[in-house]
């Protein structure tokens, strides 16, 4: 059926060239991208992207930790802006699309609307978040965590990298010296926020779908569990009365798996990714085990029930086996539900653009998870080859990027009015 599908004159070759230029600003040899926050490469990458934003006539401000806001003023500049954006930092040995597609794709969406002569009522603001990746400080989404107030300035200032350098030292060395108290944004600072991102999973490509409309962002809770039993000689210490810490830990791992499956929800996942055994000798009964768990869901209450089940399993196994089991909650970020109005606008835009779409869950977490604390948010996914991400061979085709930018541009136009 021939419908009106106004053509958007996207310059996707230009976006790809910009992505490639950004990728060459790396601490590793191309094609490997490594760009840790506040490194020299991160500084150069920021300068490059800010320069592109300036060329597009955007007004740039930065906060005390380098979160960057590039604003296209609307005709009513006092109204809260519609935000879009993502991150440009990259874990060691990464590729060139994670985060960067959302930043440079967001910029292209703004540029194409400018070229159309569109005059948004609300300002449209491109956001480049500081340190989405946990590489330096061991905590993900530093910028958006602080913007949303989830991470307080005191907690942030206590962060240290592996060399023992703190956020204060690193941010000032990078040229960010305003008050760290001013990073947190008030709810309402953004009217809405949309993040364009590669899926980092295989579904869209497998199903041949142009874009994914993210309805929920799952969030992890992680718990550290220390099991203390009694060591001894593996030969002379007979089975009765043993307090084998690893055998107790094994029960715990299975109890967690059972608890996650028992919710009956496909979105509940639980993993024990770390199991440190002490003393770790073949002829010695393990006396101490440290487990680290990652429990995720899109439903916070359901996830918390799994955590509760795990805690009661700890108590039960401890009393049956005479081992001491202690738990420490490392973090429990709340999952986010995406905003219906934005999702509706994304859906309408996908239809108008002639792009196929499906609703889906983001099982990785993103800056949008934290932005959801202070603004209505949604995410727009594009396919990535074989679902590969966080690797140098991460790839999204120009066509996939074009679909994402097209739908984003239309949606921004609708929301900014
Ligand atoms: Zn990312």
Of 399, 335, 331, the closest CA to residue 361 belongs to 335
Determine the Cα–Cα distance for residues 101 and 365; give it in Å rounded to an integer.
16
Question: How confident is the model at residue 6, as a pLDDT?
Answer: 58
Residue 5 predicted with pLDDT over 70: no
Cα of 343 from ligand 1 centre, angstroms: 20
Check pLDDT > 50 for residue 298.
yes
Q: What is the pLDDT of residue 408?
A: 98
Q: By percentage, how much of the chain surpasses pLDDT 70?
A: 99
Ligand 1 centroid to residue 83 C-alpha, Å: 17
What tens digit of pLDDT does each residue of 392-407 get? 999 999 999 999 999 9
DSSP tag of 195: E
Pairing mode of beta strands 82-87, 192-198: parallel
pLDDT surpassing 60 at residue 385: yes
Burial class, 118, CB count within 10 angstroms (exposed 0-12 / middle 13-18 / buried 19+) = middle
Output the pLDDT for position 147: 98
Q: How distant is the alpha carbon of residue 75 from its chain centre?
A: 32
Distance CA 228, CA 245 (A): 6
Residue range 86-98: mean pLDDT, rounded: 95
User: Is a pLDDT exceeding 80 seen at residue 313?
Assistant: yes
For residue 357, how far is its CA from the centre of ligand 1 (angstroms)?
20
Mean pLDDT of 218-234: 95
Q: Give the distance (Å) from ligand 1 centre to CA of residue 99.
A: 4
167-222, pLDDT tens digit by residue? 999 999 999 999 999 999 999 999 999 999 999 999 999 999 999 999 999 998 99
pLDDT, residue 3, reads 42
Cα–Cα nearest to 144, from 374, 415, 412? 374
Å from CA of 213 to ligand 1 middle:
16
Q: What's the 389 CA to ligand 1 centre distance in angstroms? A: 9
**What DSSP line would sit under 316-335, residue for residue?**
HHHHHHT-EEEEEEEEEPPP
Average pLDDT over residues 67-95: 97
pLDDT digits (tens, 9 = 90+) for 337-352: 999 999 999 999 999 9
Q: From ligand 1's centre to the CA of 240, what distance in Å?
A: 51
Residue 389 pLDDT > 60: yes
398-416 and 340-352 helices cross at what angle (nearest 10)? 120
Average pLDDT, the chain: 96
- Using the mean position of ligand 1's atoms as its centre, give its distance from the Cα of residue 366 in Å: 6
Alpha carbon of 35 to ligand 1 centroid (Å): 13
Q: Are 124 and 71 in contact (CB under 8 A)?
A: yes
Euclidean distance between CA atoms 6 and 118, whole angstroms: 13
CA of residue 196 to ligand 1 center, whole Å: 10
Q: How far is the CA of 139 from the centre of ligand 1 (A)?
A: 14
pLDDT value for 261 = 98
The two structure tokens encoding residue 212: 């994914």
Q: Measure 207 CA to ligand 1 centroid, in angstroms.
A: 22
For residue 218, report the distance from its CA to the centre of ligand 1, in Å: 14
Q: Is the pLDDT confidence value at 149 over 50?
A: yes
Percent of the chain residues topping a pLDDT of 90: 94
* C-beta atoms surrounding 338 within 10 Å: 23
The beta strand positions in 65-191, using DSSP E, are: 68-72, 82-87, 90-94, 124-129
Within 13 Å, how many C-alpha atoms sit on residue 203's CB side? Answer: 13
pLDDT tens-place string over residues 105-146: 999 999 999 999 999 999 999 999 999 999 999 889 999 999
- The answer on pLDDT for 2 being more than 60 is no
- DSSP three-state, residue 255: helix
How far, in Å, is the centroid of ligand 1 from the Cα of 84? 14
In the reported structure, the alpha carbon of residue 294 is separated from the centroid of ligand 1 by a whole-number distance in angstroms of: 19
CB neighbour list of residue 189: distance below 8 Å, 6 or more residues apart? 80, 374, 375
Span 273-283, mean pLDDT? 96
Mean pLDDT of 293-304: 95
Distance CA 343, CA 150 (A): 25
pTM of the model: 0.90
What is the distance in A from the centroid of ligand 1 to the CA of 140?
Answer: 10
pLDDT at 330: 87
Question: What would the DSSP string read from start to end of 42-102?
Answer: HHHHHHHHHHHHHHTT-EEEE-TT--EEEEE--SSTTSPPEEEEEE--EEEEE-S-TTHHH
Ligand 1 centroid–CA 5 distance in Å is 31
Question: What is the average pLDDT across 69-96?
Answer: 97
**Ligand 1 centre and the CA of 133: distance in Å?**
7
Structure-block tokens of residue 215: 């309805």
Q: Which residues, including other chains, have CB under 8 Å from residue 7's CB and lie 6 or more apart?
A: none
- Residue 333 burial class via C-beta count within 10 angstroms: exposed 0-12, middle 13-18, buried 19 and up: buried
- pLDDT score of 82 more than 50: yes
Least confident of 1-10, 120-129, 245-254, 398-407: 1-10
Nearest to 248 by CA among 194, 211, 290: 290
- Which of 56 and 1 is assigned the larger pLDDT? 56
Task: Name which of 333, 340, 395 is nearest 366 in CA terms.
Answer: 333
């Amino acid at each position: 059926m021939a419908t009106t599908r106004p053509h958007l004159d996207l310059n996707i070759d230009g976006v790809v060239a910009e992505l490639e230029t950004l990728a060459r600003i790396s601490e590793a040899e191309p094609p490997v991208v490594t760009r840790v926050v506040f490194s020299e490469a991160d500084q150069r990458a920021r300068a490059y992207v800010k320069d592109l934003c300036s060329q597009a006539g955007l007004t740039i401000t930065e906060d005390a930790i380098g979160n960057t806001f590039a604003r296209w003023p609307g005709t009513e500049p006092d109204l809260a802006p519609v935000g879009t954006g993502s991150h440009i930092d990259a874990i060691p040995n990464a590729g060139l699309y994670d985060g960067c597609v959302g930043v440079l794709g967001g910029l292209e969406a703004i540029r194409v609307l400018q070229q159309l002569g569109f005059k948004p009522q609300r300002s449209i603001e491109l956001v480049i978040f500081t340190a989405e990746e946990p590489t330096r400080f061991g905590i993900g989404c530093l910028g958006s965590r602080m913007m949303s107030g989830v991470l307080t300035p005191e907690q942030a200032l206590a962060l240290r990298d592996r060399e023992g350098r703190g956020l204060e030292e690193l941010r000032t060395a990078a040229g960010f010296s305003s008050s760290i108290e001013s990073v947190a944004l008030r709810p309402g600072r953004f009217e809405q926020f949309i993040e364009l991102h590669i899926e980092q999973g295989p579904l869209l490509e497998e199903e041949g779908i142009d874009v994914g409309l993210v309805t929920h962002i799952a969030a992890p809770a992680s718990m550290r569990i220390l099991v203390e039993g009694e060591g001894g000689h593996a030969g002379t210490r007979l089975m009765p009365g043993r307090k084998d810490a690893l055998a107790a830990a094994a029960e715990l791992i299975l109890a967690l798996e059972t608890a996650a499956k028992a919710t009956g929800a496909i979105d509940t996942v639980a993993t024990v990714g770390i199991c440190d055994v002490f003393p770790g000798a073949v002829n010695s009964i393990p006396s101490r085990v440290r487990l680290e768990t990652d429990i995720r869901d899109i439903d916070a209450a359901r996830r918390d029930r799994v955590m509760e089940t795990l805690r009661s399993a700890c108590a039960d196994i401890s009393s049956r086996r005479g081992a001491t089991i202690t738990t420490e909650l490392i973090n429990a970020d709340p999952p986010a539900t995406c905003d219906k109005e934005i999702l509706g606008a994304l859906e309408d835009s996908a239809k108008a653009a002639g792009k196929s779409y499906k609703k889906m869950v983001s099982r990785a977490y993103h800056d949008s998870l934290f932005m959801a604390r202070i603004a209505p948010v949604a995410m727009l996914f594009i396919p990535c080859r074989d679902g590969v991400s966080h690797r140098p061979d991460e790839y999204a085709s120009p066509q996939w990027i074009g679909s994402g930018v097209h739908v984003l541009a239309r949606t921004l136009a609708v929301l900014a009015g």
